[in-house]
């Protein structure tokens, strides 16, 4: 959808981010453990930590995104959606690379490569999740508001 829509409540914004992260956790931890040849327990703990960080960060980014959409009457074009997803992933990378380096004893370039791989997955996941969410949301609102 390329149009602006009814503003999301704070509760909906939080639920939206938690749902996105919870769905991704089941995929990311096993894949990351396999790709990095790291123990599943460590990767599960890191992915949960990163997910909690992402929830907090995404809430902040989404608040700003919704504000800017309303303030400047922006449409959710492909460019705007791309900038939204990149803002989330770049901010997270700045927080997670040092943790990957420390916890997995990785040099900077390997931690960056691991983080870029995760970011690529999450960028696609984020873009797709919000696109589907925005497509389904008006239908849910109509159902909720119908007698």
Digit-coded pLDDT (tens) for 11-67: 888 888 888 888 888 888 898 899 889 999 999 999 899 988 988 998 899 999 999
Q: What is the pLDDT of residue 5?
A: 63
pLDDT above 70: residue 1 = no
Q: Which two tokens stand for residue 99?
A: 């943790």
Supply the pLDDT for residue 126: 86
Contacts of 144 (CB under 8 A, 6+ apart): none
Contact 67, 4 (CB under 8 A): no
Q: Residue 141 above 60 pLDDT?
A: yes
Cα gap 62→34, rounded to integer Å = 31
Residue 25 pLDDT: 86
pLDDT, residue 110, reads: 94
Q: What is the mean pLDDT of the chain?
A: 88
């Amino acid at each position: 959808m390329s149009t602006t829509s009814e503003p999301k409540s704070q509760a909906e914004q939080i639920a939206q981010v938690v749902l996105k992260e919870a769905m991704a956790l089941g995929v990311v931890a096993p894949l990351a453990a396999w790709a990095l040849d790291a123990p599943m327990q460590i990767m599960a703990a890191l992915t949960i930590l990163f997910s909690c960080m992402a929830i907090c960060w995404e809430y902040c980014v989404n608040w700003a995104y919704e504000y800017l959409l309303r303030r400047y009457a922006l449409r959710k074009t492909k460019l705007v959606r791309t900038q939204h997803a990149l803002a989330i992933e770049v901010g997270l990378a700045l927080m997670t690379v040092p943790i990957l380096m420390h916890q997995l004893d990785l040099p900077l370039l390997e931690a960056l490569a691991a983080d870029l791989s995760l970011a690529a997955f999450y960028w696609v996941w984020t873009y797709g999740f919000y696109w589907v969410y925005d497509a389904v949301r008006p239908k849910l609102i109509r159902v909720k508001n119908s007698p």
